[in-house]
Every structure is written in C-alpha cells, then in structure tokens.
Amino acid sequence: MKKPLIVIAGPTACGKTGLSIKLAKLINGEIISGDSMQVYKYMDIGTAKATKEEMNGIKHYMIDEFYPDEEFNVTIFQKKSKEYMEKIYSENKIPILCGGTGFYINALVNDNDFTETENDYTFRNSLYKFAEDNGAEALHKKLEQIDPESAKNIHPNNIKRVARAIEFFELTKTPISKHNENEKQKTSPYNTAFIILNMDRAKLYDRIEKRIDIMVENGLIEEVKKLLDMGYSEDLVSMQGIGYKEIVPYIKGECSLDYAISELKKATRHFAKRQITWFKRQTEGLWVDLSVQSEDEALKTIENYIKELGII
C-alpha cells in the first residue's frame, strides 16, 4: 500500500503557506518546504519564511538547514526530504510538501533518480566562473547548443540549473531533458494528492507587489546588507535568488531604492508567471482558484479531494 503524500504547490504569494498550516492542523500533518531558497539560514524576509507564530505549532522541515555558502541541490533536497517523510510516517502523521519549486517537488513525488551520474565539481565550478566572466546569457547559450529543450525550460538566470544540465551532458552525453522525460514516465511511489493553488493574474500581481512593500518595511534591505557584511558573496547561488540579487546593486550604490524595488517586483511577477506555466505543463491534480474561493472554502475542497483519494 502506497504511503500518503500531500502537495500544496502554486505561484509565489498565492497563499500556500497559510493554507498548508491550516491543512496540517486539520489532518494531523507536518510540513516539508518545497522551496529552493527557504533552506538557507539568515535569509528570512526575502524568502517569505513563515514565522514561529505563523507556523502555529506545526513542525516544518527543510527550512534553515544550510548556510548560504553551502552546496544545496535537488539531490540533497530529495534525500533529506525522504528522511523527514519517514520520520513523519513513524509518528503516524501525514507529510505535506509545500512550495513553488516545481522541479524539486516533482523530484520527490516521482522519486526521480539523480544518483546514476557522478558530480564533476571542477567542471561545474568552471561553468560558474564562465558565467561570472561572460554573463548568465552566455552560459545559457552553451546549453542551447547541446540541449535546446532544457534551455527552453530553464531561465538563464538560474545558473545552478543551467550548469547542472551542461554538466550532466558532459558526463553522460545524454541531454538532461531526455533523462527527465524518462523519469517522468515513472509511477509515483506515493498516494499523492497534488493541489495547485492559483488565482486571477491581476489579483496575484497585486498581492506580489504588496508583499514586497511589506518585506521592505520589515527589513529586507537590512537583511541583504547583513548577509554581505557577514561575508556572503553576491555571486553565491543563494544570493542570486529573487529578493536578494535585485537589492545588492542598491546597497552598492549602483541604483536607487525605488529602482531596486521596481526590479524586484518585475522579477517576482515574471517568476510567478513561469511557475504557473510550469505547473500547467508538468502536473495533474486539483487546481484551486483562490479568486473564487475563500481560504476556508478551499480548505473544504481540498479535504474532500484527499478523502476521495483515501489519504484521510
């Protein structure tokens, strides 16, 4: 019998965190963050981590696990998340995977195999250096030449994933897109309830802009400055995350605060759009429109769905 797994996914700022905590209270669940940035210590405001008060006593995993200069990737995420799932199962609770990093979520849900290739850190670091010297677009063009399908799906600014795709091809002579397609054909080892939250685009964009204004009020600029003062380079993969790379130029005196915030809002809107596109293409499940349902109504819809699947 397959073990249960609930996924709450969707674009940034759509309300995943609050709803997942309410769901966890309702069904005796614990939450694993499916976010590639919340895993880093000291990066709280820019990653929109739930506060202790917001967590409302619900245990959260894959938050504050690594320092900003430590290696973190989908393989590490998958391994640690599976360990936490076993711990949650052992306590007769249900794991709720909550986040917007679709690549990480699918890797866990489908138990994708990332272990068959070795890592070549020297080659990977040379790609990071190439991007640093020549720009992210130049590195992305390298990927386009060997794996156009991956190049279409990976944003040029995601240097970590671009480099990994090039490294995979270097090691296996197989495009990682082909490998991922093969992995997608696998049947999930879990009884998965996949819930994707969404809302009217204009409403979502308004929520994004308001949330960023609140982040700035709550100390986002100070958080980024503190990270730089602690010695964390702006070139780190963690510091290239949305919410950090847009603020660094302001701190360095290269642009105004208004311009930095405007760039952050624009980048976040584009990111949300890409997330929605990704989930529409990659996943099947229950889509919940929070433009037409309140949070409580959505919670009832989700409860009925997971009952139908025999999870509760």
Detail the residues annotated as belonging to a binding site.
Answer: 10-17
Beta strands in 87-149 (DSSP E): 94-98
Coil, strand, or helix at residue 97?
A: strand
Cα separation of 63 and 44, whole Å?
10
Which residues participate in the annotated binding site for substrate? 12-17
Residue 36 DSSP code: S
User: How far apart (Å, rounded) are the C-alpha atoms in residues 11 and 264?
Assistant: 16
**Distance between CA atoms of residues 165 and 262, nearest Å:** 31
Cβ 102 vs Cβ 7: under 8 Å: no
Q: Which residues contact 94 (CB under 8 A, 6 or more apart)?
A: 4, 5, 6, 27, 28, 29, 30, 88, 311, 312
Instruction: Report the C-alpha gap between 116 and 120 in whole angstroms.
Output: 13
**Residue labelled with tokens 């949650």:** 88
74-90 helix and 102-109 helix, angle to the nearest 10 degrees? 50
Q: Which residue type is seen at 201?
A: R
Phi, psi (deg, nearest 5) at residue 241: -70, 150
Sign of the CA dihedral 64, 219, 25, 271?
negative
Those residues with Cβ within 8 angstroms of residue 273's Cβ, 6 or more apart along the chain or in another chain:
11, 201
| Annotated binding residues for ATP | 10-17
Residue pair 254/228 in contact (Cβ under 8 Å)? The answer is no
Nearest CA to 32 among 163, 179, 190, 184?
190
- Determine how many CB atoms are found less than 10 A away from the CB of residue 310: 11
